[in-house]
A = this chain, B = another copy of it.
Amino acid sequence: MITLDGCRALDAGDTLRPLRDHFALPEGVIYLDGNSLGVSPKTTAARVADVITREWGKDLIRSWNDAGWFHLPQRLGNKIAPLIGAGPDEVVATDSTSVNLYKVLSAALTMAAEDAPGRKIIISERSNFPTDLYIADSLCRERGYQLKLVEPNEIVASLNSDAAVLMLTHVNYRLGAMHDMAALTRAAHEAGCLAVWDLAHSAGAVPVDLKGADADFAVGCGYKYFNGGPGAPAFVWVHPKHAQRFRQPLSGWWGHAAPFEFTPDYRPAAGITRYLCGTQPIMSLAALECGLDVFGAAQSLGGMSALRSKSLALTDLFIALVEERCTGHDLGLATPREHAQRGSQVSLSRTEGAYAIVQALIARGVIGDFRAGDGAGHPDILRFGFTPLYVGFEDVWHAVEQLKQVLETAEWKRPEFSQKHAVT
């Protein structure tokens, strides 16, 4: 039987424990929603204040040069690259995940149209994060493609001679189920398909090896496991063998080979820089860099591999504690039990009251979130993210203890916990 003391012993033996001190964790809160919005690094407030009062306030336009503003997308990209198995000068931090997906999916379709013109289908997962499906739908309409949505176990079989692009999110946002990126990319390539990966729920949470998997294109998020702040700029990677081959349609001046020559003709910059478009929000980029710099500190403690081990230990512990202490409350494990198929979150299904249970937990200081089912095989979900940078084993104990009490006392049935928020 797992005990509180046992959990404390795990924290005491956790070599990554010092990383928690890099974050301004709110008091009285166990934060299990870093898969939605990461917490604030302690350095961010001072760094952004310096951008505002000195770099902008005093130095003004000179900071485009002197403070390196203009090259922040590349500088941050180079800090992201080693976390996702990309090389130097292969990643830029810019725009939103949705906008970046539009860029790479456009490039992928252009490439497919040249290399395999008969293929007219984009394959994706039915429960992929909706914005990915919306962007794909848009490009399908524009270019005469069709978006085919399948279940995870149907993906490989769907890769037939009509398929042009396989577009997947590495870790599913609802279930925390992780795809085998290498195997699916291989299957796509064997079928003559390109592979586009969204790393929103994996970058910074699990080891990602884009080049090892020979992926073609990838995008990802700055405000989840990278702790870049609300709406932090996203990132984009293109395999270097493709990066020079195409323009992407959002061909703004930051992607020009010589933006300050102000020539009327577009000439794309070399490499990944051509995936930039317009002027970037500097304060938000500066904040994202603070989040990325914590991974620099994590490097000497074992980096992504050590973070992955801790993440699995945390999610294993949560699953074990829920199964040991919350039996008889109709909680199902929606996240795969297999390590190889699990991201850094655990989703629990429940037929009744999932939303209210999450609200009751939040009232007790345990912050997870709720995702509604679709009435077609996907149940309502209580979602708990375990960011190994700052979540501890004792946190897991207390979270399950609170969940147990919420269920046993049935306090979630109080009317205030059923009131829906506009944004959840």
What is A's interface to B at a CB cutoff of 8 Å?
24, 26, 29, 31, 33, 36-37, 39-40, 44-45, 48-49, 51-53, 55-61, 63-65, 69-70, 95-99, 102, 126-131, 133-135, 137-139, 141-142, 149, 223, 229-234, 247, 249-254, 256, 259-266, 277-285, 287, 367, 369, 371-372, 374, 421-424
Contact = CB atoms under 8 A, between A and B. Distances in A.
A264 B24 CA distance: 36
A229 B98 contact: no
20 contacts: A26-B60, A29-B60, A40-B53, A40-B56, A51-B230, A56-B230, A61-B367, A64-B230, A70-B423, A95-B99, A96-B279, A130-B259, A130-B266, A131-B252, A134-B266, A137-B265, A138-B249, A229-B281, A232-B281, A260-B423
Given A39-B57, A137-B265, 15 more contacts: A33-B61, A36-B61, A37-B60, A37-B61, A37-B64, A40-B56, A63-B230, A65-B424, A95-B99, A96-B277, A97-B278, A99-B250, A128-B264, A130-B264, A230-B279
A64 B277 contact: no
A99 B252 contact: yes
A278 B96 contact: yes
A279 B44 contact: no
Contacts of A51: 230
Nearest to A29: B60
Contacts of A96: 95, 252, 277-280
A279 to B, nearest CB: 5
A230 B48 contact: no
Given A142-B142, A250-B138, A52 B48 contact: yes
A44 B52 contact: yes
A283 B138 contact: no
Given A24-B57, A278-B95, A284-B281, A229 B52 contact: yes
A98 B222 CA distance: 21
Contact of A98 (B24, B55, B277): B277
Nearest to A234: B278
Contact of A135 (B134, B251, B280): B251
Given A40-B53, A61-B37, A230 B283 contact: yes
Contact of A60 (B31, B232, B249, B284): B31
Given A97-B279, A284-B281, A371-B262, A142 B249 contact: yes
A260 B126 CA distance: 16
Contacts of A55: 230
Nearest to A72: B231
A252 B48 contact: no
B61 A52 contact: no
A39 to B, nearest CB: 7
A146 to B, nearest CB: 14
Contacts of A130: 253, 256, 259, 262-264, 266
Residue with the highest number of chain B CB atoms closer than 10 Å, among A126, A266, A424: A266
Contact of A277 (B40, B99, B133, B230): B99
Contacts of A26: 57-60
A231 B277 contact: no
B52 A102 contact: no
Nearest to A37: B61
B40 A98 contact: no
A235 to B, nearest CB: 13
A282 B231 contact: yes
Nearest to A133: B264
A126 B283 contact: no
Nearest to A66: B421
Given A61-B36, A231-B281, A372-B262, A253 B134 contact: yes
Nearest to A233: B281
Contact of A250 (B129, B135, B231, B247): B135
Contacts of A229: 52, 56, 281-283
B138 A253 contact: no
Contacts of A102: 249-250, 277
